[in-house]
Amino acid sequence: MGAVTRKLIESGSHVPGVDPATFQLPFDTALRYERAGEELQPYVADYHVLDSIRPPGWVSSEIMLPGGPAIRFILEDHDFDLAIGSGPHGPLPKASLYGSLSRSAKMRVGPGGVTIGVSLTPLGLARIAGTDADRLRDTVVPLESVIDPALVGSIQNDLKASDRGPGVKAVLDAHLRVIFVRSHPHDDAIQRISAVIAKPGVSSVAEARELSGMSKRQFERLTKRYFGFPPKLLLRRARLLRSIIALKMAGEPYDMRVLEDEYFDHSHFTRDSHRFLGMSPLRFLRTPSPYRDAALRARSIVLGSAVAALDATVESKTAA
């Protein structure tokens, strides 16, 4: 077979002042991170586009961090498969919806090509899936099972017809306005819960509930319904993500002083690591995942946080 001669998409962002060289991308890889249109930002945490060129038969395995919901479009014919936690590997649909994940996932990627992601906020998931966050947790479903299949097909066609790089943002902005046009009866409550879950230093459910201004029953019921998990687990996941990402971004030698203050000793951190990552912290930190690590750097540079699950809440301008 001859060598692949196509060009990669243009790395970078429409956000001013971003130098893609700072992403430190693997060889023959391109990556973009974008902010959604302003009116979509309460529902969409980011757009991201990954492109790579690899020889036929090449396979990459990456460990994904547990995090918030997302939409993924695979624009190539080769297969992707995913295993969540200790579950078996299974093929990914060409258009899929990821629920909120409480465990790391192992993704195997074929010879390359363009994949496009839409990271959703909890409010965005609620407007797409209603009260189904609990049903969708730790799973991936075909996007057509929650969004009109005709609209999914239209988005896919327009993405394939675009330049698959800088033009992706305009395509997604145009289509997603249709999806998120309707308000949700619990818009305000979902945003208040988002704010306290992502707030550094909030370690107890009682403190989070008090900051949300909700009753215990309401706080726990809405968190499970619209975030997929009980509040205690979401707070533990956020604490683990802040700590493990801080260690990964700083690099070796790993300085445990960057851990969240709520970790009272190293064994406490290790227990959370096994719960959410399925392995010890050092094993996770030393397992090569160059695409994931480049994405963490790029998103932090473009959007200010390495993963959407730790973003500050964006106030909705359209919530009724």
Class of residue 151 by CB neighbours under 10 A (exposed 0-12, middle 13-18, buried 19+):
middle
Would you give per-residue pLDDT tens digits along the chain (320 residues)? 444 568 899 999 999 999 999 999 998 999 999 999 999 999 999 999 999 988 877 778 899 999 999 999 999 876 788 999 988 888 899 999 999 999 999 998 877 789 999 999 999 999 998 878 999 999 999 999 999 999 999 999 999 999 999 999 999 999 999 888 777 788 899 999 999 999 988 889 999 999 999 999 999 999 999 999 999 999 999 999 999 999 999 888 888 888 888 888 889 999 999 999 999 999 999 999 999 999 999 999 999 999 999 987 544 433 33
Could you tell me the end-to-end alpha-carbon distance of the chain, in angstroms, rounded to an integer? 57
Q: What pLDDT is attached to residue 318?
A: 39
Which residues sit opposite 52 in a β-bridge?
Answer: 29
Tokens describing residue 133: 């966050």
Single pTM value for the model: 0.92
8 A C-beta contact, residue 126 and residue 222: no
Q: What pLDDT is attached to residue 58?
A: 79
- CATH 1.10.10.60 intervals, the chain: 187-290
Q: What pLDDT is attached to residue 252?
A: 84
Q: What pLDDT is attached to residue 45?
A: 97
CATH class of 187-290: mainly alpha
Q: Which of 36, 33, 62 is nearest to 299 (CA)?
A: 33
**How many Å apart are CA 160 and CA 168, to the nearest integer?**
9
Q: What pLDDT is attached to residue 4?
A: 53
- CATH 2.60.120.10 intervals, the chain: 20-182
8 A C-beta contact, residue 235 and residue 197: yes
Q: What pLDDT is attached to residue 152?
A: 97
Q: What pLDDT is attached to residue 5?
A: 67
| Domain 20-182 part of CATH 3.40.50.2300 | no
